[in-house]
Every structure is written in C-alpha cells, then in structure tokens.
C-alpha cells in the first residue's frame, strides 16, 4: 500500500504494473464506493439535464413529441439517484467519510496550488 502526498487514505498500486522503461505505474486513488457514487451521480445528472432541456426548451420540445415519456425518464433518473445513494451509503460509509474529511481539509498542497494559480493568472 502507498499513500498519495497529502492524503491520509492509503491507495494500492495495481498488480502487474511495472515501472521503468516501457511500463507505467497505476495508483488507484478512489475506492469502489467513491467510483460507484461518481458514476451514479454522473449518469443520473446527465439524464436529468438532457430530459430537463427537452421538457423546458421549446426547440427541443418540438423534437420530442412524447412529453410524458421524457417526464417519466426525468423523474425515474431522480428516483434512481436517491435509491442508489441510499443503497450505496451503508456499504461505503467509512470510505466516503474519509474522502469527505480529506476534501473538506485545506492543507499545504492546496495552499501551494492556490499560490501557483494566483501567480499564473497574473502572468
């Protein structure tokens, strides 16, 4: 196990990854619960955004004649998000809590990046 700089969460390198000439090392940063939550949010958000645009904007509403179908898909994506979140939280509670603590903390790495971003913007 290795840990990322500035991270208290251990990460594992992939088996069979080789460093050096012709090879590369892969460091797994996020665990299964974090990746599942990411994809759950991404898929349901994009579905709700697309169907919301179809339902809201007249130019898209004309293209999609079956409004009840699009409304059902929109509401189904919202329900799928909440059901998926409720099912995921008990299994990935510790992993997600550790990630939330890490994201909520402003450490030296964040300060260095912020200083770099401010100086770069001024150039």
Integer angstrom CA distances of residue 92 from 2, 35, 41, 64, 88: 21, 10, 15, 39, 6
Q: How far apart are CA 13 and CA 96, in angstroms?
A: 20
Looking at residue 1, its pLDDT comes to 45
Provide block-wise average pLDDT over 10 residues at a time, the chain (123 residues).
Answer: 50 47 70 91 96 88 82 96 92 85 84 90 69
Domain boundaries, the chain: 1-30, 31-122
3 membership: H or E segment, kind and range: strand 2-3
Q: How far apart are CA 23 and CA 53, in angstroms?
A: 45
Looking at residue 14, its pLDDT comes to 45
Instruction: Tell me which residue of 118, 94, 106, 119 sits closest to 10, measured CA to CA.
Output: 94
Q: Residue 99 has which token pair?
A: 């990630």
Q: How far apart are CA 25 and CA 78, in angstroms?
A: 38
């Amino acid at each position: 196990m290795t840990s990322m700089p500035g991270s208290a969460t251990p990460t594992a390198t992939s088996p069979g990854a080789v460093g050096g000439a012709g090879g590369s090392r892969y460091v797994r940063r996020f665990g299964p619960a974090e990746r599942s939550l990411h994809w759950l949010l991404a898929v349901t958000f994009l579905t709700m955004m697309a169907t919301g645009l179809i339902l809201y904007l007249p130019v898209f509403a004309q293209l999609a004649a079956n409004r009840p179908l699009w409304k059902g898909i929109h509401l189904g994506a919202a329900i799928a998000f909440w059901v998926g979140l409720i099912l995921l939280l008990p299994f990935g509670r510790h992993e997600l809590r550790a990630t939330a603590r890490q994201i909520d903390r402003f450490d030296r790495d964040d300060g260095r990046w912020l200083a770099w971003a401010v100086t770069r913007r001024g150039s």
